[in-house]
Amino acid sequence: MSSWGVALFNRDLRLSVRIGGSALVGVLFFLAVVTVIPFGVGPDLNLLARIGPAILWIGALLATLLGLDRLFQADREDGTLDLMLMAGRPLELVVLIKCLAHWVATGLPLVVAAPLLGIFLNLDPVAMGAVTLTLLVGTPALTLIGAIGAALTVSLRRGGLLLAVLVIPLAIPVLIFGVSAADAAIHDPVPFLTPFLILTALSLIAAVVGPVAAAMALRFSAD
């Protein structure tokens, strides 16, 4: 696992940094979604603060979906995927490492940008910290669940939209517990830890189910 895993991780990270700056595109999209909301909702600061965590979470979900369709497709188009299937490495681990690299390149920048965007939504520092923490724990689940959709739609030319339709229903639990954990941190009587631990559990479950399901889909896609 050691050296080939590191090689794969470095390669994927290098590719996503060099091609089109996917991190920057994701963050810009996140910014666009979040800044457009106050214009639609109106200048009600209390309302913005109340729905702020939810907006940040929805923005992160959409920004994550944006880059996912290329996760396996780029490798399939140039024949890399065929060689990965023959390489003699466990495909589930290959998927997990690719997801990890993808998250570092696209998910982590969203987490870093979240506190800044929180200012736009009139979030107080506690709420900002809570949203950032829940995004840090929850966005890996979005990438890993998205990997299933990416693997299923890998052979489709315009699979991006289908991918979103497939993935969004599966991402709803993550969204629910992410937002409720962030809300619980802001509103006192509700315990923060309960939804937060469930969110963590969802990420861990996705780390098992995502790679296994995606690897299965990729094996069939080679035909």
Given the rule CB under 8 A, which residues bind another protein?
3-4, 7-8, 11, 14-15, 18-19, 78-80, 82-89, 222-223
Tokens of 139: 């966005």
* Closer residue to another protein in complex, CB, 31/92: 92
Burial of 39 (0-12, 13-18, 19+ CB in 10 A): exposed
CA distances in angstroms from 26 to 67, 125, 136, 188, listed in the order given: 7, 24, 15, 33
Task: Give the residue with the Cβ less far from another protein, 15 or 205.
Answer: 15
CB of 184: closest distance to another protein in angstroms?
43
What is the rounded distance in angstroms from the CA atom of residue 30 to the CA atom of residue 222?
Answer: 34
CB of 80: closest distance to another protein in angstroms? 4
Whichever of 20 and 191 has its CB closer to another protein, that residue is: 20
| End-to-end C-alpha distance for the chain, whole angstroms | 27
CB contact at 8 A, 188 and 126: no
Q: How far is the CB of 73 from another protein (least distance, A)?
A: 14
Closer to another protein at the Cβ: 2 or 46?
2
Contact between 28 and 59 (Cβ < 8 Å): no
69 and 25 Cβ atoms separated by less than 8 Å: no
Shortest distance in whole angstroms from residue 221 CB to another protein: 10
Question: What are the C-alpha distances in Å from 97 to residues 101, 106, 140?
Answer: 6, 14, 12
Under 8 Å between Cβ of 78 and 41: no
- 15 vs 168, beta carbon nearer another protein: 15
- Beta carbon of residue 99, minimum distance to another protein (angstroms, whole number): 17
User: Minimum distance from CB of 82 to another protein (Å)?
Assistant: 6
C-alpha to C-alpha distance for 59 and 109, rounded to whole angstroms: 13
| Pick 15 or 198: Cβ nearer another protein | 15
